[in-house]
Amino acid sequence: MKENLLKLVSEWNYNPMIIECDVSNDNDITKLYADLNNANQKIDMLVHSIAMADKNELGGDYLNLSRNGFKLAMDISAYSFVSLCNGARQIMNEQGSIITFTFQASEKVFPGYNVMGTAKAALEHEVRQIAYTLGESKIRVNAVSAGPVDTLSSRVIQGYKNMKNAASEKSPLKRNITLDEVANSALFLLSDMSSGITGEILHVDSGYNIMGI
């Protein structure tokens, strides 16, 4: 991952500060922000783009969900957002922006998504709660709820093709979204163009979320 990131930014004539961080380890998160603080690095934005679940928990009977599988999905996909936001507020400038990524399975049943839907529901509540908490610090917190889109992680979800086909068939725009559309929406929420928006879940799904049938 580090090599891919360095290759990406090499075109920008920019030397990034790269710090490895295991979000399941509180010491790593503490060290992340300590390193930034020691380097006198203030931040204007935080992008939380982390999710994880045991692939054996994605699909099948939801009631067979294991305790460890539940803990893993909630820890990496939801609690990490709380922990990272808590550290970020110490070094984030006023008018800063924090975003994360969610999916409509937080509200509705998508067979195959299972425990990740539960984790996304928790994540969306955190967005609202943290937006309230950080409001006094003039820091905004929002989420992008993207429709089915091809990523490395989406390919392991049982029934993903069915989700993608349903979105293209039933959404008002009759098509799937693109990664560029997700990225553009994220940039909007991170920029001053969205300075009056906080605590929101922005759906980027060709309108699929509004459909009843």
d(CA 178, CA 204): 9
| pLDDT at residue 5 greater than cutoff 90 | no
**Tens digit of each residue's pLDDT (9 = 90 or more) over 137-195:** 999 999 999 999 988 778 778 888 899 999 999 999 999 999 999 999 999 999 999 99
pLDDT in tens, 60-83: 999 999 999 999 999 999 999 999
DSSP-assigned states of every residue in 183-195? HHHHHHHHSGGGT
Contacts of 119 (CB under 8 A, 6+ apart): 51, 53, 73, 74, 77, 78
Selecting among 42, 62, 108, 120, the annotated active-site residue is 120
Tokens for 110? Answer: 């998508």
Q: Is the pLDDT of residue 95 over 90?
A: yes
Q: Of these residues, 113, 138, 164, 208, which one is catalytic?
A: 113
Q: How far is Cα of residue 85 from the mean position of the Cα atoms in its chain?
A: 12
Q: Which CATH superfamily is domain 42-210 in?
A: NAD(P)-binding Rossmann-like Domain (3.40.50.720)
pLDDT of residue 43 exceeding 80: yes
Sign of CA dihedral 55, 61, 62, 67: negative
Which amino acid makes up residue 75? D
pLDDT value at residue 3: 81
Residue 113 appears among annotated catalytic residues: yes
Over the stretch 22-36, which tens digit does the pLDDT of each residue have?
999 999 999 999 999
Which residue ranges make up each domain of the chain?
A: 42-210
Q: Please say if the pLDDT value at position 14 is more than 80.
A: no
pLDDT in tens, 122-134: 999 999 999 999 9
